[in-house]
Amino acid sequence: MTKNFGNLIALQDVDVVLRKGEILGMIGPNGSGKTTLFNVISGIYAPLSGEIRFQGQAITNKKPHMICRLGIARTFQIVQPFGQMNLLENVLIGSMYGRGMSIEAGRNKAEEVLYFVGLKDKMYLTANEVTTEDRRRLELARALATEPQIILLDEIMAGLTPAEIEEALKLLYEVNRRGISIFMVEHIMKAVMTISTRIIVLNYGQKIAEGSPKEMAENPEVIKAYLGDRYV
């Protein structure tokens, strides 16, 4: 697919396949189009050309709320909690609207997800009152409450301490074990190299490499994009 902003080509002929049950990592320098790709998949931007298919069905020009209901959830790089609502209500939005549950059924689901991500004892605090790390967990919880097939994670570990990253990785393994495919953008190399089954690399809006984490670490194109020509 291709995406432009005026004359700027933000994504050019990027072709991505996410297989059921896998953890696909996406890396690339700043401005290489990773978040734009997520925005196109989740329906926030329409692509200039190309097609997005999900379980054999074209979802290219669907609205974001429809894409969510079909089973593709996402988190934001800059967390976007419903600040004045408590954590329970935040997650309840996911189960009620993403999965079409009633307020009662949605509440049970929300509490279950909050327990899963470790926020159950804070569920009556507003999102404004909790730490950044908790807000990232909340983003994940809100997305999980929609019971997605696929979850798009946009730098969910940015700004976390090494110990918190370990925790987050455990959580993501567990999410994946429950049958949810993960497509993640991550700048923390150690994390993304550890957890991903496959990695794609973007640079200047183009896919420059794809393969196992080990192959990517040794690929000259990838090293050039990150470190410059001298290191090849």
Partner 1 sequence: MKISSAKLWIALVLIALAAVAPLGISGYWLRLFTFIFMWIGLAGSLNLLTGYTGYLDFGHVAFFGIGAYTTGVLMVKLGMPFFPAMLISAVLAGFLAVVVGIPTMRLRGAYFAIAMLAFAEAMKQVVLEFDGITGGGNGLSLPIYTNYQFFYYAMLGTVLLIIGTTYWFENSKFGKGLMAIREAELAAEVTGINTLYCKLIAFGISAFFAGIIGGIYAYWMTFLYPGDTFSVLITMRMIIMAFLGGAGTLLGPIIGAAFLATIEEILWAEFKYTYLIIVGFIVVFVVLILPRGLVGLFRQRILAR
Residue nearer to partner 1 on the CB measure, 47 or 98: 98
Residue nearer to partner 1 on the CB measure, 91 or 222: 91
Using the rule CB under 8 A, is 84 a contact of partner 1? yes
Helix (H) or strand (E) holding 57: strand 57-58
Q: Which residues ranging from 107 to 136 are in contact with partner 1 (CB under 8 A)? A: 124, 126-127
Residue nearer to partner 1 on the CB measure, 66 or 217: 66
Contacts of 166 (CB under 8 A, 6+ apart): none
Using the rule CB under 8 A, is 85 a contact of partner 1? yes
* Interface segment toward partner 1; rule CB under 8 A; list 83-91, 113-121, 182-190, 216-224: 83-91
Rounded to whole angstroms, how far apart are CA atoms 186 and 34?
A: 10
Helix (H) or strand (E) holding 82: none
Among 42, 181, 196, 203, the residue binding partner 1 under the rule CB under 8 A is 42
Rounded to whole angstroms, how far apart are CA atoms 130 and 132?
A: 7
- Cβ pair 83, 126 in contact under 8 A: yes
Among 1, 3, 36, 76, the residue binding partner 1 under the rule CB under 8 A is 76
Rounded to whole angstroms, how far apart are CA atoms 76 and 189?
A: 19
Residue nearer to partner 1 on the CB measure, 86 or 181: 86
Using the rule CB under 8 A, is 74 a contact of partner 1? yes
* Integer angstrom CA distances of residue 137 from 8, 66, 73: 34, 24, 14
